[in-house]
Amino acid sequence: MDEITTLFVSPDTTAATSPLRELVSDTDISVVCKTTVEAAKAFIADNIVDCVVTAYDLPDGTGIDVITHLRETAPDTGAILVADASLDQVTDEASPGLVLEFVPGDQPATGSRVVQLVKSTAENRSQTAYPVPPSETERLEVLESYKLDDERLVRAVERVSDLAADHFETPYSSVAILTERTQEILACTGTSWDRTPREGSVCTYTILHDGVSVVEDTLTDPRFEATIDADDGEIRFYAGATINTSEGYPVGTVCIYDEEPREFTESDRQYLSLLAADVMDWLEVVRRPRGVEAPSGGVT
């Protein structure tokens, strides 16, 4: 599993305080600390978080406010409330249906329990926000073998992205890898995308199928309701070719986007598929030999 990014929200963020002490001591967990509701909201808006651990009493509100905002913006993210307040008090304040884990803050094992829950919520993260391929576990294991920061691969995928935009005369194109929870943009043309949550990515649907997925008018497709817009205009057309490994695992996509609806011919599909195959060839070039482990931290 990738390193678990955890947002810890509490007025007291000294490392000697439990459960923060236990969280920062665990090598599988990366901790970011904030002290207020507003600071937590701002961080959630700009960053991908695997789990939020929050105290109940905060200077500008409560941990319930943080978790309510989290459910509105990243509903698939784990949430843990650590509080001296009673469970009845928390239940009374929370809106109906608000999902969270509650840990009493005054117990000897509070810290170890929070660490356990952080790992559990990350490992068993609900997939209702987006579908995954049947081979998801194997797919992620294969991803660990590629050196995605290799300069040869970087140059190659930049050329592929530029070639896709030029050939199809579209303003935007991209080459992306789908990790466990994110869409990592290896290269893009016409815009400056970098990383997006997987749950907001149309490409997470594209990798469910071999070949090319086409949406000739995005206004007719509900999957685009939560996706990002390009810097210079709304995306109205999408076509994405799945990048498949030699074992048949879908690891990413080569995509083009347009601001106007358009048709996509069979020859267009074939050309986009060739570009995806070219990216796969380069991924094999930078693949680590079997038995050589990826650096700690997983796919980045």
Distance CA 193, CA 116 (A): 34
Segment 265-280, tens digit of pLDDT: 999 999 999 999 999 9
Residue 97: the pLDDT is 65
Residue 299: the pLDDT is 40
Segment 90-104, tens digit of pLDDT: 777 777 667 788 888
pLDDT above 70 (res 124): no
pLDDT band of 300, cuts 50, 70, 90: very low
Residue 233: the pLDDT is 61
Distance CA 32, CA 8 (A): 6
Residue 180: the pLDDT is 84
Segment 167-225, tens digit of pLDDT: 999 999 999 999 988 899 999 999 998 888 887 788 988 998 889 999 999 888 766 76
pLDDT above 50 (res 64): yes
Segment 111-123, tens digit of pLDDT: 998 998 888 777 6
pLDDT above 60 (res 294): no
Give the range among 1-10, 125-134, 231-240 with minimum mean pLDDT.
125-134
Q: The pTM is what?
A: 0.60
Residue 293: the pLDDT is 52
pLDDT above 60 (res 1): no
Sheet holding 237-244, edge to edge: 195-197, 182-189, 172-178, 250-258, 237-244, 212-215
Distance CA 271, CA 239 (A): 12
Residue 162: the pLDDT is 98
Domain annotation for the chain: domains and CATH numbers? 4-123 (3.40.50.2300), 136-285 (3.30.450.40)
Residue 229: the pLDDT is 56
Q: For residue 4, how far is the Cα from the chain centroid?
A: 12
